[in-house]
Amino acid sequence: MTTEIGTRNSWLIVGLGNPGTAYQRTRHNLGFMVVDLIAAEEQTQVKRDECRALVGRAMIGGTVVELAKPQTFMNLSGDAVSCLVAKPGRGIENLIVISDDLALPLGSIRLRPRGTHGGHNGLRSIIERLGTNDFIRLRIGIMPEHPVSNTRDFVLQNFAKSEAEKVESVLKRSAEAVRTVISVGVEKAMAEFN
């Protein structure tokens, strides 16, 4: 989709997570953590109420970017995202969704221009509400080192202290991947970060 300079939709960066301090540093909240890091780096805040999400605005490489954290809880993320995408000046072609991924090792990330939900309830909700899986997603690995009997409990646990260094590193890398998508496009960003 091509648009004239000046009429191009602004980027919408959505980090997935669960609201509330109890979930703040859990594995399932990596999407929120990346959005918070980008906001901190850009000296902005993600606190405006819009579409059952907290939203903030930043400029990245001269481009307007909206940063969003749905407050609907993970399983209903699509409610907030579909509302946000429907606003004037936004579109699915400029949507990036950031989520955790149990199938990827901790510390790794995968950028894709489209794809399935892969069992992730937040992505499932977004795909169902948008009626398409044709949006950019950045998945961040949280695969356990040993088999776990209850994946729901695992994703809602805080990271172990021993994982802190890897987590900080992958958050920085994820934020840089998002910036690269915005500045040079998803294909070049995939070549650099996948």
Catalytic amino acids? 28
**Separation between Cα atoms, residue 90 and residue 1, nearest integer Å:** 13
Amino acid at 87: K
Query: What does the radius of gyration of the chain's CA atoms come to, in whole angstroms?
Result: 16
Amino acid at 82: S
Strands 53-60 and 48-50, bridge-based pairing: antiparallel
Side-chain-facing half-sphere of 82: CA atoms under 13 Å = 17
Residue 188 sits at φ, ψ, to 5 deg, of -65, -35
Compute the CA torsion angle 54, 118, 142, 181 (nearest 10 deg): -60
